[in-house]
A and B are shown apart, each in its own frame.
Chain A
Amino acid sequence: MAAENVNVWYNVYHQAAWGNYIGTYMFLAAVAAGSIGAATLPRLFGRDTLKDIELPAIVVGLASLVVLSLILIYDLGRPERFVNLFVYLPGRIGSSPMSMAVALFSLLGLGSLIWGASVYTDNEQGAMYGAWASLVLAILTMYVNGLELAAVQSRALWSQGAVLPVLYLATAMAAGLSVAVLIGLARRIDTEPLRELGSYMTWSLVLALFTYGVYFDTVAYQGQNAAYELGILLSSSLPITIGVILGTVVPLLLLIGALKLDMGKQRSTLSGAAGISAVLVLIGVWAFRVSIVAAGYQAQILW
């Protein structure tokens, strides 16, 4: 009963389940976990020159968590029942990636709230515990966010890429560092810390580009209907043009130009390159997540 030599299918198609709201939720999850992760740089990794970004990055992370929660609840068919996610959480956390994500988002919000409050009240010990807890939870959140798609065996673009959670982790790191750069620019941090952030961002983009490559390779060569699946993914220009080229390659070149080729000796050049790169990375992460959700849902729905 394979779909060979078929001219026409007459089938029933129920409405698409996941769309732009879920893609945007995944983007905000990357921003939230990424910026909370980036906020740990001064306290946990001794980058004292980046101290100015700590509290604002925590606030951006928390704000993203609030907005993504609202988007998720809005996307539910029965939003008033969202509390059931918590009521049945203990029994489902080992099975449903969505339950895992709900638990992680809640803990991440709580951990970073304690951390932020401790920073605000100069409670060093509380801030240290909060930062460590938030870092671990942020990394897990980035990964599980990808797992929410990768666990769905029926959608080849999600499940064939066992690399998808790693891709989500790498791009969330890039998104978080982009937020940190934008905060740094807004707070007018010195040139050296800005160069340092730009350098981290460059490496995160190299990692993201590598995982993009592994992901496309996996889909193209290991999918059951590789050509069909890849065609669906590429039918939209969002994932490649915006997600990979505009959101990863272009910022990488800009940053390399500014940092390594001494084109960024002047503060204004460095700021411009870092700022544009940060915005492009955020747009790219959003575009890829939205398109992978939409295209991934369509693949294999034919019959």
Chain B
Amino acid sequence: MTRYAMVMDLRRCTNCKACHVACKAENDVPLGVFRTWVMESETGRYPDTNKSYLPRICNHCDDPPCVEVCPTAATFQREDGMVLQRYERCISCKYCITACPYNARYVLPRESESSGRGNEHTIGKCSYCNHRVEDGEQPACVQTCLGRTRVFGDLDDPNSEVSRLISENDVEVLKPSEGTDPQTFYIKPDRSLTDQRVVGQNLSNKEETTKEELIEEIGKYGDKAGGVY
């Protein structure tokens, strides 16, 4: 049995947005809507600020609420876990958009290659690039990811990279309280790794670093530090 899933290693994401572009190009996703995107957040107070990136995608949940509420069974779940859309059945009642806690669905503003001709104004979503996966390839966003943030594979295969990453790391899912059992797993960014990379060379001979020293060092290397978490 196969159960496809994705792991996002947030330690590696640089917000290059190559995944956006690859997804748009592969699936002919129209302007203004996204199957995948990278969310950014800014935290802290100057000068102790932080920037985080969170790649988003349909979670292809094990218990997908969008499938449950669809009145025409246009949205369905395959045995391998992929939650897909039958565009020709969709009446665009938007119940699935409302039911999805992850904002992963959208109304197609025009027809596209992936939806098939004449299916504008129906509901679009990530398909895990099932057409590529069926040909033995990786989804476009995974294939193009420069930092290898995105890893896709079979969760039921203990030797797959996704299984290994999940077993070796402390992973989280988005909004677990929704009870949807999402199958996109996130490895949280580790702040200490960042500190070591940016200022570690200068402070490596010190056993302890005060906050002031750290801030001073980060200031010196501000350009390097910019954009990293």
Q: Please state if B103 and A84 are interface contacts (CB–CB under 8 Å).
A: no
A63-101 residues with Cβ-Cβ distance < 8 A to B are 75-79, 81-82, 84-85, 87-89, 91-92, 95-99
Q: How far is the CB of B161 from chain A (nearest CB, A)?
A: 22
Cβ contact of B179, chosen from A15, A152, A153, cutoff 8 A: A153
Cβ contact of A301, chosen from B103, B178, B180, cutoff 8 A: B103
Cβ contact of B71, chosen from A7, A85, A303, cutoff 8 A: A85
Q: Do A82 and B41 form a contact, CB below 8 Å, given A13-B103, A98-B71?
A: no
Q: Please state if A297 and B72 are interface contacts (CB–CB under 8 Å).
A: no
Q: Which residue of B lies closest to A88 (CB)?
A: B72
Q: Please state if B71 and A88 are interface contacts (CB–CB under 8 Å).
A: yes
Q: Please state if A88 and B94 are interface contacts (CB–CB under 8 Å).
A: no
The answer to whether the Cβ of B93 comes within 8 Å of any Cβ in the partner chain is: yes
Q: Please state if A300 and B101 are interface contacts (CB–CB under 8 Å).
A: yes
Chain A 13-28: CB-based contact to B (< 8 A → 1; otherwise 0): 1110110000000000
| Chain A residues with CB under 8 A of B215 | none
Q: Which residue of B lies closest to A84 (CB)?
A: B72
Q: How far is the CB of B189 from chain A (nearest CB, A)?
A: 10
Bound CA–CA A3/B175 (angstroms) = 11
The answer to whether the Cβ of B34 comes within 8 Å of any Cβ in the partner chain is: yes
Bound CA–CA A3/B122 (angstroms) = 32
The answer to whether the Cβ of A154 comes within 8 Å of any Cβ in the partner chain is: yes
| Chain B residues with CB under 8 A of A152 | 65, 69, 98-99
Q: Which residue of A lies closest to B121 (CB)?
A: A77
Q: Please state if B69 and A77 are interface contacts (CB–CB under 8 Å).
A: no
The answer to whether the Cβ of B16 comes within 8 Å of any Cβ in the partner chain is: no
Bound CA–CA A139/B105 (angstroms) = 33
Q: Which residue of B lies closest to A1 (CB)?
A: B172
Chain A 259-303: CB-based contact to B (< 8 A → 1; otherwise 0): 000000000000000000000000000000000000001001101
Bound CA–CA A151/B69 (angstroms) = 8
Q: How far is the CB of A223 from chain B (nearest CB, A)?
A: 11
Q: Which residue of B lies closest to A159 (CB)?
A: B178
Q: Label chain A's interface by main secondary structure.
A: loop
Q: Please state if A17 and B103 are interface contacts (CB–CB under 8 Å).
A: no
Cβ contact of A96, chosen from B68, B103, B175, cutoff 8 A: B68
Q: Please state if A97 and B69 are interface contacts (CB–CB under 8 Å).
A: yes
Cβ contact of A77, chosen from B92, B172, B177, cutoff 8 A: B92
The answer to whether the Cβ of A9 comes within 8 Å of any Cβ in the partner chain is: yes
| Chain B residues with CB under 8 A of A76 | 91-93
The answer to whether the Cβ of A121 comes within 8 Å of any Cβ in the partner chain is: no
Bound CA–CA A64/B168 (angstroms) = 59
Bound CA–CA A81/B88 (angstroms) = 9
Cβ contact of A153, chosen from B34, B43, B101, cutoff 8 A: B101
A220-235 residues with Cβ-Cβ distance < 8 A to B are 224
Chain A 173-207: CB-based contact to B (< 8 A → 1; otherwise 0): 00000000000000000000000000000000000
| Chain A residues with CB under 8 A of B34 | 12, 14
Q: Do A11 and B39 form a contact, CB below 8 Å, given A1-B172, A78-B92, A88-B72?
A: yes
Q: How far is the CB of B105 from chain A (nearest CB, A)?
A: 7
Q: How far is the CB of B97 from chain A (nearest CB, A)?
A: 4
Q: Do A78 and B122 form a contact, CB below 8 Å, given A6-B43, A18-B98, A154-B178?
A: yes
Which A residues have a C-beta under 8 Å from some C-beta of B?
1, 3, 5-15, 17-18, 75-79, 81-82, 84-85, 87-89, 91-92, 95-99, 102, 151-155, 224, 297, 300-301, 303
List 9 A-B pairs, minimum CB-CB distance, nearest first. Answer: A77-B92, A154-B101, A17-B94, A77-B121, A17-B97, A10-B40, A14-B106, A98-B71, A12-B37
Known: A88-B73, A89-B71, A154-B178. 9 other contacts (CB 8 A): A1-B188, A7-B43, A14-B33, A75-B93, A77-B93, A77-B94, A85-B71, A153-B178, A154-B175
Interchain residue pairs with CB less than 8 A apart (29)? A1-B174, A1-B188, A5-B43, A9-B41, A10-B39, A10-B41, A11-B40, A12-B37, A14-B97, A77-B92, A78-B91, A84-B72, A84-B89, A88-B72, A92-B73, A95-B68, A95-B69, A96-B69, A96-B95, A97-B69, A98-B71, A152-B65, A152-B99, A153-B179, A154-B99, A154-B100, A154-B175, A297-B98, A303-B39
